């Protein structure tokens, strides 16, 4: 620990007590690596403030002492964005003790939620009030509100509700100078200059630590249903979506799965069985919900919506769930894809987006090109077709040495995928952010003026480089590269 | 004209021809004042680039020469945000020649529109394709897309569709270094660092000149209807809105009008007549639309929604339009308020917002307080109750000298109103922005750390202070105060 770090730790201990700081390596160790074990760092202390005021005091003092801070929520990120640098030059600041739902307004449908509240707990609390917070994702049992805001999280319900940015009505954050950005008041109209709240959403904790957010609530789901549809290709899948969207606003999810991937799930995941009897090149999982008693039941709606789909020859076969258990069974298949894929050996995974209309063609063309350029590889894409966002995976050739592939062809495959994405005007990070994993690729694939603008914003708001060093943008190699 | 300005003008003339620049005072004069005649400036030249590339070249050259530029669209702003400084230190750059709709995608419901396209023209072009761009406002015959994006415009349909920010899927802009921010590609998910597109929306041309935007389209309106409801007070009005919102998503507008104001409209505006037979303290105008053939007719829907409203004792009387002409007649009353008020003598007008739930109480309490503190004045509020945004007007005492009141008590009244707004966590600029009119009040009423953050962003992205000097934030009194 540096003298400055020690001074910060001592001051925090004195002012806020032992709950707010620990230097016990066993207590810190679980938070020094990301959950997938890909990034490993070291933090001499773990700070756990219990209030926004404590966060502000810590950041102000850190700024004065020149001590760097890595903010962390549930530590469920995919790009190493919450992992401290390896050299011990930064302390971890966990928001997990700030876990109160400050207020719930079931008339205005808004809740003020502290950064450390776990998403699943928030879901449960809102369900008790007949309300729903629609954003959800696999890590909901650990992911916190602060991290979800700071990464502008996506998930499975973006098609209807948008990503986190669309669900945030206000943000409270501690800025790098230790001041508090008090943006929780939910104003529907507010034009008072640059929108700092929008700027903090998705900023990955590099220009402020989100301490609370005002979140939009929706009516609880009364009933849901899902359709599983076999289709010939992604173009037909997208046509089905367009046809349905023109007739209803209740489509919540529209997920595409290649037949090959379905086969792997059925083979590797116990208890799964194919929703359709026959073989299909592609499958689509469509969910619709009702939120009002007396509204058209979602199963009936899906049945009605499928009539013109079959009339247009867009579907080969389809089945509609007849129970909540069957909806769960369909989703279990979708949610098991990652696990099934792990059984197939090393793979490079890419969280990418292109404009929705371009995605069907991109999925096929990019997979073919990746397999052509890297013989023996197998490229597949699945996921949120309706968002123009798929998980694009390229598996190593059978029998390839794991470490050698991850060190050699793997990164080359990724560069190819990202090049193809950029050529379509797409994004090399649709959901997961940049963190440390994609910083070099962001710099390689962005116009220099854009990188210059990002760096200008970072250094304007955090001139001493106190917050989350080495993530998103690097100001200078010696200043904040871990 | 300074030598640097002259050099810029000469170079533009040589490179892009006489269409792109004029120094003719008669051609420039109409654009040197705002449309209400409150702000007057002077620009030695008016630049009218015809393409994004020309804008980029001009800004790059301006940066090299240290020449300041004031971007301008339709010049319909309310806060002097597009008026050049009085000392002739900046040139005007009009986007009005960039008036092409680059593309329309009626499947994905997106249009790419250049900055100079006039809103009403865009409405008409979309109507021809069976589509609707829902944002609309009084100045639609002159206001341009670039200005609407740069001011994050509001208008009458925000309740359902949000403000401009929610309708923008992408932005192209020229940054102060002359580089082009290419953000038109409509990605539903994109987490590649600080969101420059969000930052440019509402930035009032101070950190970039918006040259085009990708805008979201909606189905055209098949049929609309309006209800005019007499209520006892704003609290009951808001209860009506909540009750309706829980039963339908088709409420487009929910406007509140005091009975006194209605009386002035009926008295001063020829051809208007009261929708209801009796007297009511407050009136509400509610619009609902159908966008699908075969959907429940909006008049029938409104009738159905009013049943529980009357059962709950929230409405005193109501009438539902029986024709499009009657809908127009209702709106004509609402849209004539400003004209009717002008007949009543000098008034301070305030474009303010507070959280929706606080607005009913605020309207009454703030009006009472203003009248108490400034005896003889009359304070009234009307407008977008559903957005928490009203036009809060305070009229001078009868017989007050116009000039003396505008110089003396008028500004004191405004400071009181803004103080009350801030005490409720509200915004002193809900729709109109800061421009030059509200810059001092923004600085007075914001935490110093917020002003510091705004200035840091401005100077990070526009270190030479090239774009729209003196608007929104002032970097230094000698540097950019007009």
Smallest Cβ distance to B442: which of A158, A192, A427? Answer: A192
Mutate to test the interface with B, among A112, A193, A464 (most CBs of B within 10 A): A193
Assigned fold of B3-97+464-469: 3.30.43
Mutate to test the interface with A, among B150, B152, B168, B189 (most CBs of A within 10 A): B189
Asked whether the predicted pLDDT for residue B479 surpasses 50, the reply is: no
| pLDDT band, very low/low/confident/very high, at B248 (cuts 50, 70, 90) | confident
Interface check B271 vs A, CB under 8 A: no
Residue A347's Cβ-side half-sphere holds a number of Cα atoms within 13 Å equal to 21
- Find tokens 């800025």 and name the residue: A175
Answer yes or no: CATH 3.30.70.2190 is held by domain B223-338.
Answer: yes
Record the tokens describing residue B291, joined without a space: 């966008």
Task: State the pLDDT at residue B247.
Answer: 86
Answer yes or no: CATH 3.30.465.10 is held by domain A101-219.
Answer: yes
Smallest Cβ distance to A191: which of B152, B195, B460? Answer: B152
Asked whether the predicted pLDDT for residue A479 surpasses 60, the reply is: no
Q: Report, as an integer, the average pLDDT of A382-391.
A: 94
Asked whether the predicted pLDDT for residue B323 surpasses 70, the reply is: yes
The Cα of B387 is separated from the nearest Cα of chain A by a number of Å equal to 6
Domain ranges of chain B: 3-97+464-469, 101-219, 223-338, 345-423
Interface check B353 vs A, CB under 8 A: yes
Question: The domain at A3-97+460-480 falls in which architecture?
Answer: 2-Layer Sandwich (3.30)
What are B327-358's pLDDT values in tens digits?
999 999 998 998 898 889 999 999 999 999 99
Task: State the pLDDT at residue B249.
Answer: 82
Task: State the pLDDT at residue B480.
Answer: 43
Interface check A188 vs B, CB under 8 A: yes
What are B379-392's pLDDT values in tens digits?
999 999 999 999 99
| Interface contact flag, B193 A449, Cβ < 8 Å | no
| pLDDT band, very low/low/confident/very high, at B113 (cuts 50, 70, 90) | very high
What are A331-378's pLDDT values in tens digits?
999 989 988 988 899 999 999 999 999 999 999 999 999 999 999 999
| Interface contact flag, B434 A191, Cβ < 8 Å | yes
Asked if the domains at A223-338 and A345-423 fall in one CATH topology, the answer is yes
Asked whether the predicted pLDDT for residue B47 surpasses 70, the reply is: yes
Asked whether the predicted pLDDT for residue B481 surpasses 60, the reply is: no
Contacts of B388 in chain A (CB under 8 A): 187-189
Task: State the pLDDT at residue A476.
Answer: 58
What are B295-320's pLDDT values in tens digits?
889 999 999 999 999 999 999 999 99
Answer yes or no: CATH 3.30.70.2740 is held by domain A345-423.
Answer: yes
Q: Chain-wide mean pLDDT for chain A?
A: 95
Task: State the pLDDT at residue A246.
Answer: 83
Assess contact for B346 and B396: CB atoms under 8 A. yes
| Interface contact flag, B192 A453, Cβ < 8 Å | no
What are A413-467's pLDDT values in tens digits?
999 999 999 999 999 999 999 999 999 999 999 999 999 999 999 999 999 999 9
| pLDDT band, very low/low/confident/very high, at A156 (cuts 50, 70, 90) | confident
Task: State the pLDDT at residue A43.
Answer: 98
Greater pLDDT, A156 or A170: A170
Interface check A456 vs B, CB under 8 A: yes
Interface check A294 vs B, CB under 8 A: no
For residue A24, the Cα-to-chain-centroid distance in whole angstroms is: 30
Record the tokens describing residue A341, joined without a space: 């894929």
What are B202-243's pLDDT values in tens digits?
999 999 999 999 999 999 999 999 999 999 999 999 999 999
ipTM of the complex: 0.94
Smallest Cβ distance to B191: which of A202, A356, A449? Answer: A202
Q: Chain-wide mean pLDDT for chain B?
A: 95
Q: Report, as an integer, the average pLDDT of A71-87.
A: 97
């Amino acid at each position: 620990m540096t003298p400055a770090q020690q001074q910060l730790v001592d001051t925090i201990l004195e002012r806020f007590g032992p709950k707010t700081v620990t230097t016990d390596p066993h207590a810190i160790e679980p938070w020094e690596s990301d959950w997938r074990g890909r990034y490993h760092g070291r933090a001499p202390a773990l700070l756990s403030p219990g209030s926004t005021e404590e966060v502000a005091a810590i950041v102000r003092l850190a700024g004065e002492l020149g001590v760097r801070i890595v903010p962390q929520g549930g530590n469920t990120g995919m790009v190493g964005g919450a992992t401290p640098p390896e050299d011990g030059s930064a302390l971890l600041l966990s928001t997990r003790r700030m876990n109160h739902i400050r207020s719930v307004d079931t008339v205005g449908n808004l809740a003020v939620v502290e950064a450390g509240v776990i998403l699943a707990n928030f879901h449960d609390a809102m369900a008790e009030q007949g309300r729903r917070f629609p954003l959800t994702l696999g890590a909901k049992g650990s992911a916190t509100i602060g991290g979800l805001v700071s990464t502008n999280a996506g998930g499975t319900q973006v098609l209807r509700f948008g990503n986190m940015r669309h669900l945030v009505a206000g943000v409270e954050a501690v800025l790098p100078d230790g001041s508090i950005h008090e943006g929780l008041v939910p104003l529907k109209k507010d034009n008072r200059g640059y929108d700092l709240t929008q700027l903090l959403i998705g900023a990955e904790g590099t220009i402020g630590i989100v301490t609370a957010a005002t979140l939009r609530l929706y009516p609880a789901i009364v009933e849901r249903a899902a359709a599983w549809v076999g289709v010939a290709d992604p173009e037909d899948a997208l046509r089905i979506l367009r046809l349905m969207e023109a007739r209803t606003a209740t489509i919540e999810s529209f997920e595409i799965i290649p037949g090959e991937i379905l086969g792997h799930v059925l083979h590797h995941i116990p208890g799964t069985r194919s929703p359709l009897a026959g073989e299909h090149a592609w499958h689509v999982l469509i969910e619709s919900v009702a939120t009002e008693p007396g509204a058209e039941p979602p199963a009936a709606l899906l049945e009605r919506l499928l009539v013109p789909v079959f009339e247009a020859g867009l579907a080969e076969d389809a089945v509609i769930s007849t129970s909540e258990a069957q909806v769960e069974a369909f989703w279990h298949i979708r949610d098991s894809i990652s696990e099934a894929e792990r059984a197939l050996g090393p793979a490079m995974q890419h969280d990418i987006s292109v404009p929705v209309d371009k995605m069907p063609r991109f999925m096929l063309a990019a997979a073919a090109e990746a397999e052509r350029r890297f013989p023996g590889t197998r490229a597949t894409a699945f996921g949120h077709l309706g968002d123009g966002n798929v998980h694009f995976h390229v598996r190593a050739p059978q029998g390839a040495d794991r470490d050698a592939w991850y060190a050699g062809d793997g990164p080359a495959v990724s560069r190819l995928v990202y090049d193809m994405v950029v050529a379509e005007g797409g994004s090399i990070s649709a959901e997961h952010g940049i963190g440390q994993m994609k910083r070099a690729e962001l710099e390689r694939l962005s116009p220099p003026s854009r990188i210059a603008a990002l760096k200008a914003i970072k250094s304007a708001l955090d001139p001493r480089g106190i917050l989350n060093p080495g993530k998103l943008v690097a100001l200078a190699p010696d200043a904040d590269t871990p």
